[in-house]
Amino acid sequence: MAKTINCENHPIGVFDSGLGGLTVYRELKKILPGEKFIYFGDTARVPYGNKSADTIKRYAFEISYFLARKGIKLLVVACNTVSAIALDDLQEAFRFPVVGVVQAGVELVAGLPGQSRVAVIGTTRAIKSRAYQTLLSQKLPAARIYGQPCPLFVPLIEEGLEETVLLPATLDHYLAALRRRKPDSLILGCTHYPLIEHEIGDYFGNSTRVINSGRAVAMKVAEVLGGARSRILSSSDEFYLTDKQANFQKISRKFLGFSIPKINIIRNSII
């Protein structure tokens, strides 16, 4: 059931397992510059991509309740792994709309012409959950759907190794078989992958369209907000992390293009 927003000047909550969701925040900010965002990155417990479904759901609820207490009007699940595992439960539990990257990415692809082979890549948990594949099959019943976990991409990007020989080797390792399938589109089903979007695009070539699920969710959020956009000039965004990673400013600059001005560190025990 569609949920109505009657507090348009309230902030939008965005959460991820860590800093990767900043790629989604960046897209949201481009499309909705007048909104105030509250970003939550669970840096103490990242990565989620190899954790059990029960644990991921528990973490997702803790964070969503924290953001709900901040009075958000809409929640963006920027983490593909959480979106794959817990979106339905979150949508049922909260009164505000909850928008996830998985569903937005699938809707975008389903709206494109000529999709007979669609591929998605992501963390082990996101791909093994088959959430992307199931939704894609529902929307594109005649299409062949391929899912490929690529667990090494996240640490490779976080370690800043994407400009070394390790990237072409890792692309080959995970994606050579998928490239032979010649997918019409390839969904980047992980917050970190937009940082190697061009390399992945070059690897597949022009006949495969690469879909950034962060961009897709930003477009979806604009649509869901409709007339409920903020009418006041937004005050500055807020950032909450559960741990101060040693290299977090470097990583956030990489994901965002600038440093996060002020970070609030919040212990998991009080969220």
> Residue 236: which residues within 8 A CB-CB, separation 6 or more?
36, 261
Q: According to the binding rule CB under 6 A, does residue 23 interact with ligand DGL?
A: no
Smallest distance, ligand DGL to C-beta of residue 78, A: 7
Instruction: Scan residues 25-84 and list those touching ligand DGL (CB under 6 A).
Output: 46-49, 79-81
Residue listed under structure tokens 């900043």: 22
Site for ligand DGL (CB under 6 A): how many residues?
Answer: 18
Asked if 150 is an active-site residue, the reply is no
Coil/strand/helix, residue 198: helix
8 versus 89: smaller Cβ distance to ligand DGL: 89
Verify whether residue 79 is a known catalytic residue: yes
Tell me whether residue 97 or residue 122 sits nearer to ligand DGL (CB atom): 122
**82, 168, 174, 211, 259 from 251: Cα distances, Å:** 21, 21, 24, 22, 9
| Sign of CA pseudo-dihedral 243, 91, 53, 177 | negative
Among residues 79, 106, 200, 211, which one is catalytic? Answer: 79
Looking from the CA of 193 toward its CB, the CA atoms found within 13 Å total: 26
Contact status: 150 vs ligand DGL (CB under 6 A):
no
Q: Which positions ≥6 away from 180 have C-beta within 8 Å?
A: none
Q: Judged by CB under 6 A, which of 13, 17, 72, 150 binds ligand DGL?
A: 17
For ligand DGL, which is the closer residue by CB, 11 or 20? 20
Q: In angstroms, give the least distance from the CB of 95 to ligand DGL.
A: 25
Closest CA to 190 of 247, 147, 126, 117: 126
Binding footprint of ligand DGL on the chain (CB under 6 A)? 16-18, 20, 46-49, 79-81, 122-123, 126, 154, 190-192
The catalytic site residues sit at: 79, 190
